[in-house]
Amino acid sequence: MADTLRIEIDGDGIATLTIDCPGKPVNVVTPEFIAQFTAAVERIATDTGIRCVILTSAKADFMAGADLKHFVTAYDRGVTAIEAAGQSHAFSRTLRRLETSGKPVVAAINGLALGAGFELALACHYRVLADEPKAVVGLPEVQVGLLPGAGGTQRLPRLIGIANALPLIGEGRHVRPAEALKLGMVHELAPRAEVLARARAWLAGKPEAIQPWDRKGWRMPGGAGMQNPAIAQTFMVGNALVAKATMRNYPAPVAIMSSVYEGTQLPIDAGLAIESRYFGKLLAGPVARNLMRTMFVNKGLADNLARRPDGVPKSRVAKLGILGAGMMGAGIAQISAQAGIDVVLLDTTADRASQGKEHSRQLLARDLERGRIDQARMEATLARIRPTADYGDLAGCELVVEAVFEDREIKAGVTAKAEAVLGRDSVFASNTSTLPITGLAKASKRPARFIGLHFFSPVEKMPLVEIIVGKKTDATTIARAFDFVGQIRKTPILVNDSRGFFTSRVFSTFVNEGQAMLAEGILPALIENAAKLAGMPVGPLAVSDEVTLDLQWKVTRQTEQDLGAKYRRPVSYEVLQRMVVEQKRLGRRQGGGFYDYPAGQAKQLWPGLAQHWPPAATQPSVTAVRERLLHIQALETARCVEEGVLMDPADGDLGSILGIGFPAWSGGALSYIDTIGIAAFVADCTRLAKKHGPRFKPSHWLKQRAESGESFYPPPAGRDTA
């Protein structure tokens, strides 16, 4: 077992315990660390030659929390809530042993301290924090579906009061040094180089080795329990806010509220036991597994370009061409220029190109107003964007991204014009959302250098880029596409070519199902609210308005034209036709669609919906509507796996959450199936197909997987406790 920490004792009896997890860029809590730390604490408590202790780190940061790669498999390994609680409580007892050892312990926090790292510091009697913006502290466990399981829900409220602590724990917010000092989360700030010296200076004062909550007569700052009106209000408001923010799909915020409420009314040791029980329930549940696996482990791998082809030299784009200066093209220009890339923003006229740059200016001005950038950075970014109508200005671009109207002929025309001036090795990428890349590449003289880069709107906010591989796209082009996506700090997923690729295919099933329900006479408010209660950011009718019904109708007609006799009308066809062709309600940007958008007021469902699609006498339950909306998306995602569009389940889960808003609690569309159980999911779809039509019918391939119990993620080898 490699050493994760070392202990050095000087002539004054000061033991310096230095954390240094081998082979990791940051310190994390692992089973090896816990074992070695427990032994070190026991030595500290029993060695008469040790008078006091400094806890610090050999790395640039103090500690980043628990190693999620170990926690993420707990649910699949069959770890029970009791077993997980036992592991949590064992570590809590170690920290309790440290703070009650009778020897002063100071945390010299030389960098960020998050999660279990900050819980280590909270168990120390004094905390000195490096006074640097990146040296944040906090308890972000809620973001991975957990709660702090090493005393965080008990020590922090006892330190700074429930009213201050509860929002920090419930939101998982990182706290910068100045605020941490003001709140009382740390005792002192110091330049990084002086943190250890300040720790030694505190020890030189021969302080008492006792925590505030262990002093006789200590009372909770601000009070605890429902007998205190202010604290009662904190919990009542907190419960309402949690319900609104999570739609009760995420158990961790509720568990945090309960742990703080129950534990802070009892002595610290009883409170720690309560915290561990709640932690155990969360770790043994599927939501924490789903969040950790998709949003942290797999997202981290994607951000590090884990799917990039091997053997291709790294590349960087110095000069980027963008064809089309609309909102999408202007957004790509802005984020690329912010990443230090010179951008040629081209449109049919110089005025249109300049309007695109002006859109980038407006986005940057908003960031300036909110303090995210300064004036100098804004001007430098804008200086990198060159609006033009001259294709000759594309000369020297290593990459061109086409973001023109979703029309095959228009795209073919700009492809030919751009390639006429591009270098032999330049990559051409289309930002199409539905048209197959292989078909678009027919207009290219270099199909091996042709690829899809599907951005999402608004570009500056949406983190995902879908990389679409055509039949002739080569590995070098794929690698360079990954490098560019990494350069602009987006999260890439890799998919094979098909109509609609992955995200657009799945998104279309969501909006189509919502419109089909409307045609059935299901109340539009029920459709929209059920979607939001399921965890979708907006309902299918509202999002249809945002992307415009006009665009959906044009894509539908284009597909109908392309496929001919093979075309099968979607269940939304008649609804779209009536809204667009007959009623001329094209979406939000055109004045109204399924919703009205009165000036200065919140949007409202269009009253005319009831006239065109009268409500049915009997309405389904919210649960039934929710099931249809989520199952149809998950089923289409499974079809993408079957057809080879998706090559890795992680891409499907990341794409469904980051690209189309599939609820994060599920872990993504494929994790949703695994969580339900593939056999149960197939049974559900079979039932839905009988009631609502063949679009829900599971394929023979999916049925075979269900019969063999083959999940989309293979189970971890072996079984042990958390």
Are both 195 and 270 inside the same structural domain?
A: yes
Are both 83 and 147 inside the same structural domain?
A: yes
Give the contacts of 409 (CB within 8 A, at least 6 positions apart).
none
Q: Which of 501, 509, 500, 502 is nearest to 628 (CA)?
A: 509
| 376-410 residue pLDDT tens | 999 999 999 999 999 999 999 999 999 998 888 99
E-strand stretches of 12-96: 14-19, 52-57
Which residues, listed in sequence order, are joined to residue 57 by a DSSP beta bridge? 19
Do residues 535 and 529 lie in contact, with contact meaning Cβ atoms separated by under 8 Å?
no
Residue 574, judged by CB atoms within 10 A of its CB (0-12, 13-18, 19+), counts as middle
Are both 359 and 421 inside the same structural domain?
A: yes
Which residues, listed in sequence order, are joined to residue 481 by a DSSP beta bridge? none
Q: What CATH number corresponds to the domain at position 556?
A: 1.10.1040.50
Task: Report pTM.
Answer: 0.93
Do residues 670 and 630 lie in contact, with contact meaning Cβ atoms separated by under 8 Å?
no
Is residue 338 assigned to a domain? Answer: yes
Q: Is the pLDDT of residue 628 over 80?
A: yes
Looking at the structure of the chain, the number of domains it has is 3
Are both 276 and 324 inside the same structural domain?
A: no
Q: What CATH number corresponds to the domain at position 347?
A: 3.40.50.720
Are both 11 and 120 inside the same structural domain?
A: yes
Is residue 133 assigned to a domain? Answer: yes
Q: Which residue, 558, 593, 620, sits at the end of a domain? A: 620
Q: Is the pLDDT of residue 718 over 80?
A: no
Q: Which residue, 590, 620, 650, sits at the end of a domain? A: 620
Q: Is the pLDDT of residue 722 over 70?
A: no
| 135-181 residue pLDDT tens | 999 999 999 999 999 999 999 999 999 999 999 999 999 999 999 99
Is residue 715 assigned to a domain? Answer: no
Are both 402 and 372 inside the same structural domain?
A: yes
Q: Is the pLDDT of residue 720 over 50?
A: no
Per the structure, the complete domain to which residue 346 belongs is given by: 319-499
Mean predicted confidence (pLDDT) in 601-626: 96
Are both 144 and 236 inside the same structural domain?
A: yes
pLDDT range class, residue 2, cuts 50, 70, 90: confident
> Which amino acid, residue 631?
H
Is residue 691 assigned to a domain? Answer: no
Reading the block at residue 542, the tokens are 């509202």
Bond prior to 229 in cis (omega within 30° of 0): no
Q: What CATH number corresponds to the domain at position 187?
A: 3.90.226.10
Q: Which residue, 263, 284, 305, sits at the end of a domain? A: 284
- From the CA atom positions of the chain, what is the Rg in Å? 28
Q: Outline where 284-407 has alpha helix (H).
A: 286-290, 299-303, 327-338, 350-369, 375-383
| 208-258 residue pLDDT tens | 999 999 999 999 998 888 777 778 788 888 888 888 888 889 999 999 999
Are both 201 and 52 inside the same structural domain?
A: yes
- Which H/E stretch holds residue 399? strand 399-402
Are both 487 and 513 inside the same structural domain?
A: no
Is residue 631 assigned to a domain? Answer: no
Q: Tokens 């202007």: give the residue.
A: 330
Q: Return the axis-axis angle of helices 622-642 and 700-708, rounded to nearest 10°.
A: 100
Q: How far apart are CA 200 and CA 198, in angstroms?
A: 5
Are both 42 and 115 inside the same structural domain?
A: yes
Are both 13 and 119 inside the same structural domain?
A: yes
Q: Is the pLDDT of residue 719 over 60?
A: no
| 521-575 residue pLDDT tens | 999 999 999 999 999 999 999 999 998 999 899 888 888 888 888 888 899 999 9
Residue 599, judged by CB atoms within 10 A of its CB (0-12, 13-18, 19+), counts as exposed
Is residue 637 assigned to a domain? Answer: no
What is the overall mean pLDDT for the chain?
Answer: 94
Q: Annotated catalytic sites, by residue? A: 454
Q: Which of 449, 539, 495 is nearest to 654 (CA)?
A: 495
| 277-287 residue pLDDT tens | 999 999 999 99
